[in-house]
Amino acid sequence: MNKTAIIIPSRLGAQRLPNKPLKLIKNKEMILHVYEAAKQSNVGDVLIATPDQQIVNLIKNFGGTAILTASNHETGTDRVFEVFEKTLKSKPNFIINLQGDMPNLEPEVIKNLIDYMSLGKCDIGTLASELSSPSELEDPNIVKVLVKEKIRPGMFIEALDFVRNYPPDSKPDSKKVYHHIGIYGFTNKALVKFVSLKRSKLELERKLEQLRAMENKMSIHVGYINSCPLSIDTEQDLIKIKNLMEKND
């Protein structure tokens, strides 16, 4: 078995954009764009973890691997863990939890994250890009990460906090705040530890599960990428990514 597994949690029941994985972009379902990017990274096995048979059928008809999981998982990482433990028998050394709503993610950034995880410097690795405008600080649809110092290309820096929005009267050091990208690299030990922890106060308040790791002193390092793959949460996001991907076709 490959020492690395990319597991993509995906479900149809998103509140803000129901049936999100099946939305068509360039005549192809969103989840298939993400699956292809994961495969093209060539870092390991790629599996979709979903409670929905419709997604399983779609992926299998595409020639991919999809696992039908329990429907009552509280977080995407819990869904990822079920596949890691039951399907993969806890064998991979590294696990990538890749969000299924970033259809324009570049495969190379997945490889870069795994390369850093293999150095053994943190429990969890993730990625971030520059904010496109000051208004993003107040946009709750864009998750921000505050880091210890300014990130330069090729560097990974310790994460200090994750937030959905900064109030107008808050003045974080903008040079240390970045647009968080929804991808996480775990060591196998870190994944096992993470899912064993109770959901934390900040995690529940901000609806950001990575805060569970931070509140339990697990180290998260953040790498910089030049591109900013769009995370699709609303109909407006979908229109934006369609225009962008069709323009670049």
What are the extents of the domains in the chain? 4-247
Which two three-digit tokens encode residue 6? Answer: 């990319």
Distances in whole angstroms, Cα of residue 139 to Cα of each of 49, 64, 66, 155, 159: 29, 35, 33, 26, 20
Identify which of 130, 125, 139, 134 has the alpha carbon closest to the alpha carbon of residue 229. 130
- Report DSSP letters for 187-229, one per residue: EHHHHHHHHHSPPPHHHHHHT-THHHHHHTT--EEEEE-SS-P
Q: What's the CATH number of domain 4-247, 3.40.1190.20, 1.20.1270.30, 3.90.550.10, 3.30.1330.10?
A: 3.90.550.10
Q: How many CB atoms lie within 10 A of CB 191?
A: 25
pTM comes to 0.94
Instruction: Give, for all 249 residues of the chain, the pLDDT tens digit.
Output: 569 999 999 999 887 889 999 999 999 999 999 999 999 999 999 999 999 999 999 999 999 999 999 999 999 999 999 999 999 999 999 999 999 999 999 999 999 999 999 999 999 999 999 988 888 888 888 899 999 999 988 899 999 999 998 776 676 777 799 999 999 999 999 999 999 999 999 999 999 999 999 999 999 999 999 877 778 888 888 998 898 888 766
